[in-house]
Amino acid sequence: MHLGVVVPYAHGSIKWEEGGTTELSRVGFSNDYRFREVSKTNAVSTGTFRALHIRDAVYALQAR
């Protein structure tokens, strides 16, 4: 689906100060993103999200 917008810098890996990581990547030919989150206890969750640009650096996210 082509609704949503491209989110600047929404790719790569984030290491959280409290532990754990989140990996973000774009889904080809769409404005969706995949995420894979590993908590500090090694629990894994995955899903997708789409963003709607509100203004400036403010976005609304729809997650699944």
Q: Would the pTM count as exceeding 0.75?
A: no
Instruction: Look up residue 24 and give its amino acid.
Output: L
Tokens of 16: 């959280």
Q: How many residues does the chain have?
A: 64
Q: Which residues pair with 55 in a beta bridge?
A: 58
pLDDT digits (tens, 9 = 90+) for 2-58: 567 776 666 788 899 999 999 999 888 888 889 999 999 999 999 998 888 888 888
Contact 59, 8 (CB under 8 A): no
Looking at residue 2, what is its pLDDT? 57
